[in-house]
Amino acid sequence: MLKDKPQHAVLINNNQWLEIEPQGLMLSAVINQLSLVESSIAVAVNNNIINKALWHEYVLADGDQINVFSAIAGG
C-alpha cells in the first residue's frame, strides 16, 4: 500500500494507493489481497455499490476509488 499514486493504481478507502497492471485488475483480486472477511463487507467503486456476485467480473481501471465497509459496534 502506497501513500502516493503510482502511474497505474486504484485508491482504497480514500487513503491508500494500490498499484495495478496497465490493463486493469479484477475487483475480486483486490479484495483477496486485502484479506477481508468477504461475507460481511460491502464494496463501492466510485460510489457505486458492487454486489459480491459481480466482484469477479468487475475490472478496475486506473484512478478508480474503492471503499470497503464492514460492521462495527454501534447503537
Cell of 69: 465497509
Q: Does residue 14 bind another protein (CB under 8 A)?
A: yes
Which window, 2-10, 22-30, 55-63, 66-74, contacts another protein (CB under 8 A)? 66-74
The answer to whether the CB of 28 falls within 8 A of the CB of 41 is no
The count of other CB atoms within 10 Å of the CB of residue 31 is 19
Considering only residues 28-57, where is the footprint of another protein by CB under 8 A? Answer: 34, 36-37, 40-44, 47, 49, 51-52
Q: Which residues form the interface with another protein (CB under 8 A)?
A: 1, 12-14, 16, 34, 36-37, 40-44, 47, 49, 51-52, 67-75
